[in-house]
Amino acid sequence: MKSSIHKVLHPIAGRPMLLHLLASVGTLAPERQVVVVGAGRDQVEKAVAGTGAVIAVQEQQLGTGHAVAQAHDALAGFAGDILILYGDVPLVRADTMRAMLDRLSRGDEPRAVVLGFRPDDAAAYGRIIADGQGIIDKMVEYKDASEAERAVTLCNSGLMAVRSTDLFVLLDQIGNDNAAGEYYLPDVVMLPGAQSAVIETDAWEVAGVNSRIELAAVEALWQARRRIETMREGTTLVAPDTVFFAHDTILGRDVVVEPNVVFGPGVSVADGAVIHAFSHLEGARVASGAAIGPYARLRPGADIGPKAKVGNFVEIKKSSLGEGAKANHLSYIGDATVGADANIGAGTITCNYDGFLKYRTEIGAGAFIGSNSALVAPASIGAGAIVGAGSVVTKPVEADALCLVRPAQDNKPGWARRFREKMKARKAAKG
């Protein structure tokens, strides 16, 4: 990855790959979760805090079998089935994990269940040779495979289900007599004794990430599937390929999303809202019937009420707009409460920061803020009040009052003509 960030912490849809995987695992209600990590332990430990996972450290990278063996102490006393997954293979569904466990518990009691797939290009993946019932005859790494074995299209994802009573006994029996001198996890399948089985899934589900190119490819896979799910659930995406979701984006029915919209983490949009083109939303709630954009930005803490309007080049941060409130043009609303049906004129800003602390602005229901006004927080504009265009408000404005803060207009007849004549003469003299 050529990065100071641990590979498994690079994000897909705004969430680290490892946390995508742990979220899917979490739906199975596992008794224990163990994350094996080599370098970058501090980063991973911080990322998984609160997930219930514990860390096991692989000091030397001696292969996948060696990595799994490092979980031995963390699984001491555990009696049950074990899923072996990979932090850089983030898209595996919980249903697929359940299918692996179900196959492990079938009557023929395979020693292990391996998840296989058939990619368009098998490339350098390890191969699985199995019969029509999915019983594995042989598993082999690509670099150790014969030409005939390389011609097989069923590939090994590396994901596996094994009973706890078998796993570490089997790991103790594998060696490293191979081209890389490593302890391969798939070798447990080939040990003498009971048989193992393979089940298959789609290649997209076991797509792995080893470079930023592959990271972008997996992001594209995730986004494509989420767009389809979203439209199936009743949202209109006018140009689906141009809309990007976060892992937790929630959209209601009859929401319309126009082209080139980006959803960061923590966004919910209620039924019937419209997100116009080129808008960016993060950490925001949009109520039913509201309209956002085009070219709007909702930052964390933005709470847009029913039928409210946030227009072009308007930025909202840590502020609420009441039902029917409008901020249609070129405004910044930060650390504010805007009452129902209030109108924020073009070019208005809430001056919420003095270089050290943030302060709030309260705008009452039905208030009208004229264009190009600056509301210097802490500020209070009463319900129904009107602030004249161009005002700099530094004191509270009572309900239903008119606030004008600007110098008297002074027109000087003929001044502009005389100025032009004077400047033309000066310019001619210089020439």
Q: Which of 266, 289, 286, 272 is nearest to 234 (CA)?
A: 272
Q: Give the Cα separation of 52 and 383 in Å (integer).
A: 49
One DSSP character per residue, 279-322 reads -EE-S-EE-TT-EE-SS-EE-TT-EEPTT-EEEET-EEES-EE-
Residue 326 is classified by DSSP as: E
415: CB partners within 8 A, 6+ apart: none
Q: Helices 94-104 and 17-26 sit at what angle, rounded to 10 degrees?
A: 50
Count CA within 13 A, CB hemisphere, residue 27. 12
Q: Is 329 a catalytic residue?
A: yes
Residue 255: both structure tokens together: 């929401």
Q: Give the Cα separation of 327 and 345 in Å (integer).
A: 7
| Per-residue exposure over 363-381, b if at least 16 CB sit within 10 Å of its own CB, e if not | bbbbbbbbbbbbbbbebbb
Distance of CA 365 to the CA centre of its chain: 35
Q: Give the Cα separation of 159 and 217 in Å (integer).
A: 20
> Which amino acid type is present at position 48?
V
Q: One of 20, 276, 280, 329 is an active-site residue; which one?
A: 329
Q: Which of 315, 379, 412, 352 is nearest to 391 (CA)?
A: 379
Q: Which residues carry out catalysis?
A: 329
